[in-house]
Amino acid sequence: MRIKKALKHLANFTANFMGSWWSVFSFLVIILSWITFNTLSSVRIDPFPYAFLNLILGVLAALTGPLVLIGNSSQDKRHQKLVQSIYAMEKKQMKEKEEEEKEKEKEK
């Protein structure tokens, strides 16, 4: 149960992070730093075709896609519960208002 809750939390965090400008700029900085380091440095970990960088980006895309979908799914479930509670509250208020109007008509 704890693991499931932790995974949901990770999915929500990933969905929120991946949908932000902060993630876009941070990935851009990391990728440009990687390319610059491997182009200008005398110790080249990953030379020009950047195969290792491509592998990392492929794995990252393969993992973040499902995590974002899971995070969005749980957010949709929370949103659905919120909508249902708002609907129930409004329905109750409408019923109370109708009862008040009926009482006012009886008094006339």
Model pTM above 0.85: no
Q: Residue 103: exposed, middle, or buried by beta-carbon count in 10 A (0-12, 13-18, 19+)?
A: exposed
Mean pLDDT within 18-45 = 90
For residue 4, what pLDDT band results from cuts at 50, 70 and 90? Answer: confident
Provide the percentage of residues in the chain whose pLDDT is more than 70: 99
DSSP 48-87: TT-HHHHHHHHHHHHHHHHHHHHHHHHHHHHHHHHHHHHH
Letter for the amino acid at 2?
R
Q: How far apart, in whole angstroms, are the C-alpha atoms of residue 76 and residue 67?
A: 14
pLDDT recorded at residue 70: 83
pLDDT digits (tens, 9 = 90+) for 53-98: 999 999 999 988 888 888 888 788 888 999 999 999 999 999 999 9
Residues 71 and 11 sit within 8 Å (Cβ to Cβ): yes
pLDDT digits (tens, 9 = 90+) for 28-40: 999 999 999 999 9
